[in-house]
Amino acid sequence: MTVSARIEGQPRVVVGPVPGPDWVRAAVEAGGGVIVEPAEAEAVVWGGPPNDVDGLKSLVRAAKDARWVQLPWAGVEFYVAAGVFDHDHVWTCGKGVYAEEVAEHALALALAGLRDLPDRIRATSWAKQSGISLYDGRVTILGGGGITEALLPLLAPMRVDVTVVRRSPQPMPGATRTVCVFDDDGESPRERVHQTLVGADVVFLALALTPETTGIIDAAALDAMESHAWLINVARGQHVVTDDLVDALRRRTIGGAGLDVTDPEPLPDGHPLWDLPNCIITPHTANTAEMARPVLTARITENVRRFGAGEPLIGPVDPDLGY
């Protein structure tokens, strides 16, 4: 389904949950939109929490003439699981909006791990030298979206050999090579992923959560990694089998893990991951609300403007792929 150009007037937008957050309403109006009641709306901009799928469904049903729905988050697995997406609307989300901040955080976690900063921060006496430089090293990134696009330029000055693993064979600028997980060469996607982990100093997870990527880092994947390598997850906690990761960190199968997301999340007090010296945990702060609001505001404003002008929208969601 495509969005046709409007002949007259301004886009009529309902902001949810009605009446909607003030900053979302301001973003819509800045894009030339007029905020209306659901029955009058030709577009829905959702500003509610991601787990309020019932509220979103109800609003979309009420806005029976709406052709476009804007979601605020990059990850849309809540909506996929609830069966929200259809082919009757154009769906867009916040994909790519938070990429720079998340890529920055991912690199910080990687460098902290390779340089043994967790041990240094806890230390109360002088210790022996240790640490690994990422210059001229090797990196594997699972995922070829906005975070990876933002991460590759950060890695470029370090002359890193980068392998990007993605669904598409389309090469990514800045990557040494791109591996398509669905190449028809007789290997399973999981086997192909495991091959790309061998030799990497850092493995970044920056991919969408789908049934195919849930648990993609399990015991077999961790065994394929180098004993000094760090796993950095800034995607979704469910990409990693947590019990397998705890075991690998305890046995030093890998060097360590930097986790901005966990499974479960929030990670409960007393969970084994908290006590592992080779694990850095940040509470889903690669992108904070304070960082997100300005860039998400700009995305909403631009998409409202584009909708009114009949131009392609940014951040489309493929209902079949689920991201």
Instruction: Show which residues are catalytic.
Output: 236, 265, 284
Radius of gyration of the chain (CA): 21
> Can you give 200-213 as a three-state secondary structure string?
CCEEEECCCCCCCC
Whose CA is closest to 235, among 125, 3, 74?
A: 74
Cα–Cα distance for residue pair 308/10, rounded to 1 Å? 6
**267 φ, ψ to 5°?**
-75, 125
**Phi and psi angles of residue 278, each rounded to the nearest 5 degrees, phi first:** -100, 35
Coil, strand or helix: which one is 44? strand
Cα gap 27→227, rounded to integer Å: 48
161-166: strand order across its sheet:
177-180, 161-166, 138-142, 202-205, 230-233, 256-259, 279-281
Residue 12: φ, ψ to 5° = -95, 115
